[in-house]
Amino acid sequence: MPRAAFEGLALFRHVWVTFVFDRNTNVHKASAVERTFKAKVRPPLLGGKKVGLFATRSPHRPNPVGLTLCRLDRVDLQEGRLYLSGIDLCDGTAVLDIKPYVCHDRPEATTLKYAAWVPSRDQASSKPLEVRFQPRALEQLQELLPRLHQTSLPSRVYYPDVATAVQCVSEVLRLDIRGLNQKRGADGTGLYECRLGAIGVQFDVRDGAAWVERVHGMGGNEKE
């Protein structure tokens, strides 16, 4: 990409990023016949009820193209690199395009309308979980983090210290990220696992709390 293409972008605070849902399991099916999509899906906020696909943010779409708005922290013209925050993409996601966010992208507040099941910014979609770490999980994190900073790509280790990593994990798990088939909103029946960059987190849910039981490193993060 020519470095000149990024000139002037630093004058903006936010950007739109168009990307491909390349972790979408539907994308990797062998034939076009197999690559189907459901016309109606069950978004977590509806508690099991179905709604039309285009009324949701499901990654399983006729064309696996996504759009996200994120903060532009810095533009490095020499390296041709953008530094973004608040971005909800997996590391290594294929990016199609970048466009600046401008005032005309924001509609007048009086014209905005949302479905009743979509919570506002100051509303919680469900009661947040209390997040607790088992002592052994904290020890594992303390042992793992220094090693990850030496061996992993910076884009996969976005927590500079243990306290920040604990905060990151807590902010994610408190939202109850389980799917409906995993008893979202209720006590679980075993361990669940999620990945946050270079670390894997195993947790269970009981009595309104998410207990972090184990923290481990994920493969494929080595620096070149």
Predicted pLDDT of residue 224:
46
Q: Percent of the chain having pLDDT more than 90?
A: 36
In a domain, 114, yes or no: no
* CATH number for 58: 2.40.30.70
Q: 86 and 146: one domain? A: no
Q: What is the predicted pLDDT for the residue at 202?
A: 95
Residues 76 and 34 in one domain: yes
Please tell me the distance from the alpha carbon of residue 168 to that of residue 170, in angstroms, as a whole number.
Answer: 5
Does 68 share its domain with 160? Answer: no
Instruction: Write out pLDDT tens, residues 147-188.
Output: 988 887 776 787 889 999 999 899 999 888 887 777 777 888
Q: Strand, helix or coil at 194?
A: strand
**pLDDT, tens digit (0-9, with 9 covering 90-100), for 48-73:** 789 998 998 888 888 888 999 999 99
- Exposed/middle/buried for 209, CB within 10 Å: 0-12, 13-18, 19+? middle
Same domain for 138 and 73?
Answer: no
**Residue 52 pLDDT:** 93
Identify whether residues 8 and 55 lie together within a single domain: yes
Domain count, the chain: 2
Whether 146 and 81 share a structural domain: no
**Residue-wise over 92-120: b if at least 16 C-beta within 10 A, else e?**
ebeeeebeebeeeeeeeeeeeeeeeeeee
Closest CA to 133 of 191, 215, 211: 211
Q: Rounded to an integer, what distance in angstroms lies between the CA atom of residue 113 and that of residue 68?
A: 19
- Sorted by sequence, the CB contacts under 8 Å of residue 181 that are 6+ apart come out as none
- The band of 95, judged by pLDDT with boundaries at 50, 70 and 90, is very high
pLDDT in tens, 112-157: 888 887 776 655 555 788 999 999 999 999 999 999 888 877 767 8
Q: Tell me: pLDDT of 32 over 70.
A: no
Q: What is the mean pLDDT of the chain?
A: 84
Averaged over 199-209, what is the pLDDT?
92
Q: Are residues 8 and 93 in the same domain?
A: yes
Query: In this structure, is residue 223 part of a structural domain?
Result: no
In whole angstroms, give the CA distance from residue 139 to residue 135.
6
Owning domain of residue 165: 130-217
